[in-house]
Amino acid sequence: MTSMRAPFRSRGAALTAAMLLSAGCHIAFRGSPAVLTTPAADQMRSDVTYLASEALEGRGTGTPGNDSAAFFIAHRYNALRLASIAQTDRPSCAKGGVTGKAECFVLPFTASVPVRTAAPRLLRTQNVAAIIPGRGPLTGEYVIVGAHFDHVGRDSSSARDPEKGRVIRPGADDNGSGTVAVMEIARRLARRPTNRSVIIVNFSGEELGLLGSEQFVNHLPVPKEKVQAMVNLDMVGRMKNDKLIVYGVATATEMKGIVDSANVEPRLTLAAVGDGEGPSDHAAFYRKDLPVLHLFTDVHDDYHSAADVADRLNIDGLVRIADYTERVVRALADHPSRLTFQRVQTAGANRPSARPGGGAYLGSVPDMGAADVKGMKLSGVRPGSPAEKGGLRAGDIIIKFGGKTINNIYDYTDALGSHKPGDVVEVVVERVDGQVTLQITLGTRG
């Protein structure tokens, strides 16, 4: 999930990967076959082991490992005989469709990474996308299924273990897990297509601020009004107690019913969150007024660290999430009518919390990708919320709330839960220019 970093790299590995693909060579993909021929668990275990291997060095955006991951995914989609997206600026890929060219699934772009005191850093990278044409009268409409495949690489500034220096942060769960789940879903849908067409997309640049998903949604290969919904998977490999968090269930009036009906036996324990915002790629689509879902098995201690390795994933749980996601995607793609988009006004009522609390509402949007920050960092605040009225803003790090020290989101949830609507609380935040103390009147949850 998202955090900010500023990598630097060489383009040599990308060119090497492209040449290997053109030659039909599989050296770059050692340890993970191009065609899914084994059971889902074995295949996803093999794929995520490769993506989280030392050879890819954490898949930092703009690094050789990131390029190798992109071409690995592209090779898989080509092997599945999916259709590529037309790229008019690349003659060999201008027509799109089933061309037999793995490189045509790669969508190059230049990521502009903000730098506080200098010009933006420009990084050449790529999304990977494919289309599975529908088999019905709604084939001209689309469901988008995506996951980011980049991670933080060797960058210690984005890590939870910066004291280890430039070691590899493998990113098996973040987001090797979502990547291989999307690849598995693509295999299943290619075998048995849906009524609407499905766009499969893997994003780069998520860890730098949703750069790949913003690039994609700003240059959609189809009219936006033809998009039914977007489904995002990010950090879905550490399921515990059958629990799956699903964001975005209130972004369309029909979404809650679809999410619930897809939860068949053996049932998952769903934590449904109405909001379509958050620090992952679905947010870029929600901000374009598209219904979204975001699947997530929660942050863990290995997040953004060298300990996020493949051996610690719950592969059986990952298969169950792929099963569940397939049912959701099919329901969205086969739904007889268009979904009714709705913007979620508050997130307070639907967010999972550590305890019930007194129903107090602030309207802050936690940056779930900033688990390495001491305190609770905000990715934004709700328009018209007590947070906005009280002076909180995106980028603030809450370090005290009502006199209680805040070290993480759980401290914050407990502190907020100890108050009731109408309470005036003192909130201390850290900003670039120092600490600020605010007096905020809490509102009513929901």
Whether 272 has a pLDDT exceeding 50, the answer reads yes
- State the Cα–Cα distance between residues 78 and 101, nearest whole angstrom: 7
In single-letter form, the type of residue at position 442 comes to L
Identify the CA nearest to 6 among candidates 162, 120, 110: 120
Could you state, in order of their start, the residue ranges of all structural domains in the chain? 12-334, 360-444
Mean pLDDT (whole number) for 270-286? 92
Other Cβ atoms closer than 10 A to 204: 31
Query: Do residues 414 and 355 make contact, with C-beta atoms less than 8 angstroms apart?
Result: yes
- Tens of pLDDT, residue by residue over 185-232, are 999 999 999 999 999 999 999 999 999 999 999 999 999 999 999 999
Residue 372 — very low, low, confident or very high, per pLDDT cuts 50/70/90? low
Whether 371 has a pLDDT exceeding 50, the answer reads no
Question: What's the pLDDT score for residue 38?
Answer: 59
Query: Do residues 352 and 273 make contact, with C-beta atoms less than 8 angstroms apart?
Result: yes
Question: What's the pLDDT score for residue 30?
Answer: 37
Question: What's the pLDDT score for residue 118?
Answer: 83
Whether 311 has a pLDDT exceeding 70, the answer reads yes
Query: What is the full DSSP assignment across 256-268?
Result: HHHHHHT-PSSPP
159 vs 15, higher pLDDT = 159
- State the Cα–Cα distance between residues 6 and 207, nearest whole angstrom: 10
- State the Cα–Cα distance between residues 8 and 115, nearest whole angstrom: 13
Work out the burial of residue 314: count CB atoms within 10 Å of its CB; fewer than 13 is exposed, 13-18 middle, 19 or more buried: middle
Query: Do residues 124 and 133 make contact, with C-beta atoms less than 8 angstroms apart?
Result: no
In degrees and rounded to multiples of 5, residue 119 shows phi and psi of -65, 155
97 vs 383, higher pLDDT = 97
- Tens of pLDDT, residue by residue over 338-366, are 999 999 864 333 333 333 345 788 988 77
- State the Cα–Cα distance between residues 443 and 446, nearest whole angstrom: 9
Query: What is the full DSSP assignment across 104-173?
Result: GGEEEEEEEEEETTEEEEEEEEEEEEEEE--SSTTTTSEEEEEEE--B-TT-GGG-S-GGG-S-----II
Average pLDDT, the chain: 87
Residue 328 — very low, low, confident or very high, per pLDDT cuts 50/70/90? very high
Identify the CA nearest to 381 among candidates 368, 369, 370, 391: 391
Question: What's the pLDDT score for residue 31?
Answer: 38
Identify the CA nearest to 408 among candidates 367, 439, 445: 367
* CATH architecture of the region 360-444: Roll (2.30)
Task: Say what percent of the chain tops pLDDT 70.
Answer: 87
End-to-end CA distance of the chain: 26
191 three-class SS = helix
Mean pLDDT (whole number) for 375-385? 86
- Tens of pLDDT, residue by residue over 23-70, are 333 333 333 444 444 589 999 999 999 999 999 999 999 999 999 999
Flag the least confident range among 284-288, 357-361, 425-429: 357-361
Q: Which residues contact 15 (CB under 8 A, 6 or more apart)?
A: none
Query: Do residues 219 and 284 make contact, with C-beta atoms less than 8 angstroms apart?
Result: no
Topology given in CATH for the domain delimited by 12-334? Aminopeptidase (3.40.630)
Question: What's the pLDDT score for residue 414?
Answer: 86
- State the Cα–Cα distance between residues 33 and 220, nearest whole angstrom: 30
Query: What is the full DSSP assignment across 60-83?
Result: BTTSHHHHHHHHHHHHHHHHTTPB
DSSP bridge pairs for 441:
424
pTM comes to: 0.75
DSSP bridge pairs for 434:
431
